């Protein structure tokens, strides 16, 4: 059996749709007909070759996209009956080769031997995909399956980041969210849901991004950093004390060097984005004397993924509103070019079948 797949063969060159051999099922594996796949900024960086210095992607050609939803069409030996044919699933993309001390503790996304979709192994921009059943989460009964694809990365990543910041925040503390694009539209909702007693400050350099997120959820204070000095605004809001948490979805040298200086004593700076290749100096004496925490937050665990889907089932996340563009499979290069040109507000998905 063969199926169509979208292949990255050369960096920055158009992706190519070709027929490839459909893998044979092994025990505990599931064959999934891909319904939709999201296009993430990480996919853009992989396409451009930005991650080559880090040894990524692990192979060429490779099928990109780690945001995948689909339908079970066949199962291997040992697969539980709840993943029967016809069941709609989200594929948890942060997979791994084997259990280790980290995965056993629940840090599945930090496994020693990783098999990340679209990064280490082929991802979702293809008609069929095989996965071990333990990395599948049922999305049966949830409306608008294609709009669920970004929950495997954008919604998951921001969910974990907000959970990490939550423990530092007390009532009426300010939480600053840097970057109100595709990730930010989920993050702002998570902050309002998980830290409802905080005051949310949303920062971006684009009016359209600020307006987009403000329509989805209530942002207490918005700052366009291209028009006003965010440091001055934050110091005025906190009477010079600083904010308790910064969640940086950009992670550029400019954002880190600026916003680390507005974190209050015993506050936290959560690094999620990784724009730019330049290392960032930090104000070491201030961090030490005020016991400020700087922490990274990488995607989310399998347990986090189940929590995200559970909250979606309860109607607590506006996921459909975040997806602003849907492309046909044959339009995949348009999706990448639009993202490259900075024209995307919200998230975009490619409809595969």
Whole-number pLDDT of residue 31: 98
pLDDT at 17 over 80: yes
Average pLDDT, rounded, for the chain: 97
Weakest mean pLDDT among 213-222, 244-253, 280-289, 334-343 = 280-289
Sequential DSSP letters for 98-117: S--HHHHTT-GGG-SSEEEB
Q: Residue 157 corresponds to which tokens in the numbers above?
A: 């990543």
CB 170 within 8 A of CB 333: no
**Residues above pLDDT 70, as percent of the chain:** 99
Local structure of residue 119 (DSSP, 8 states)? T
Whole-number pLDDT of residue 277: 67
pLDDT at 338 over 90: yes
CB 199 within 8 A of CB 175: yes
Domains of the chain by range and CATH? Answer: 2-152+300-351 (3.90.180.10), 156-296 (3.40.50.720)
Local structure of residue 64 (DSSP, 8 states)? -
Cα–Cα distance, 144 to 302 (Å, whole number):
22
Cα–Cα distance, 347 to 212 (Å, whole number):
11
16 pLDDT band, cuts 50/70/90, is very high
181 pLDDT band, cuts 50/70/90, is confident
Whole-number pLDDT of residue 205: 96
Cα–Cα distance, 136 to 163 (Å, whole number):
23
pLDDT tens profile 48-93: 999 999 999 999 999 999 999 999 999 999 999 999 999 999 999 9
pLDDT tens profile 252-302: 999 999 999 999 999 999 999 987 667 888 899 999 999 999 999 999 999
Q: Output phi, psi for 348, to 5 deg.
A: -130, 145
Whole-number pLDDT of residue 275: 79
β-pairing, 221-224 with 174-178? Answer: unpaired
pLDDT at 136 over 90: yes
CA 256 to chain centre: 19
């Amino acid at each position: 059996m063969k199926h169509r797949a979208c292949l990255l063969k050369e960096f920055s060159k158009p992706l190519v749709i070709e027929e490839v051999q459909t893998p044979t099922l092994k025990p505990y594996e599931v064959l999934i007909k891909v319904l939709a796949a999201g296009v993430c900024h990480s996919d853009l960086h992989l396409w451009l070759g930005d991650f080559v210095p880090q040894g990524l992607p692990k192979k060429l050609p490779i099928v990109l996209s780690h945001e995948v939803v689909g339908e079970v069409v066949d199962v291997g030996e040992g697969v539980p009956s709840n993943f029967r044919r016809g069941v709609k699933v989200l594929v948890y993309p942060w997979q791994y080769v084997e259990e280790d001390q980290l995965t056993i503790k629940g840090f599945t996304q930090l496994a020693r031997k990783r098999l990340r979709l679209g990064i280490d192994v082929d991802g979702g921009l293809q008609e069929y995909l095989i996965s071990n059943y333990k990395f599948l989460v049922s999305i049966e009964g949830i409306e608008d399956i294609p709009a669920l694809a970004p929950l495997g990365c954008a919604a998951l990543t921001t969910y974990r980041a907000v959970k990490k910041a939550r423990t530092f925040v007390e009532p009426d503390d300010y939480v600053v969210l840097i970057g109100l694009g595709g990730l930010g539209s989920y993050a702002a909702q998570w902050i309002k849901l998980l830290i409802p007693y905080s005051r949310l400050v949303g920062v971006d350099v684009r009016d359209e991004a600020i307006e987009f997120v403000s329509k989805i959820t209530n942002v207490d204070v918005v700052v366009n950093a291209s028009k006003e000095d965010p440091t001055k605004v934050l110091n005025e809001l906190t009477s010079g004390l600083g904010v308790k948490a910064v969640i940086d979805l950009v992670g550029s040298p400019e954002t880190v060097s600026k916003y680390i200086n507005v974190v209050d004593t015993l506050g936290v700076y959560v690094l999620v984005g990784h724009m730019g290749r330049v290392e960032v100096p930090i104000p070491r004496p201030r961090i030490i004397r005020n016991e400020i925490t700087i922490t990274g937050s990488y995607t989310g665990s399998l347990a986090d993924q189940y929590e995200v889907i559970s909250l979606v089932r309860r109607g607590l996340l506006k996921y459909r509103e975040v997806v602003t563009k849907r492309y046909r499979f044959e339009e995949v290069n348009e999706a990448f070019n639009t993202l490259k040109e900075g024209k995307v507000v919200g998230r975009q998905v490619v409809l595969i079948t």
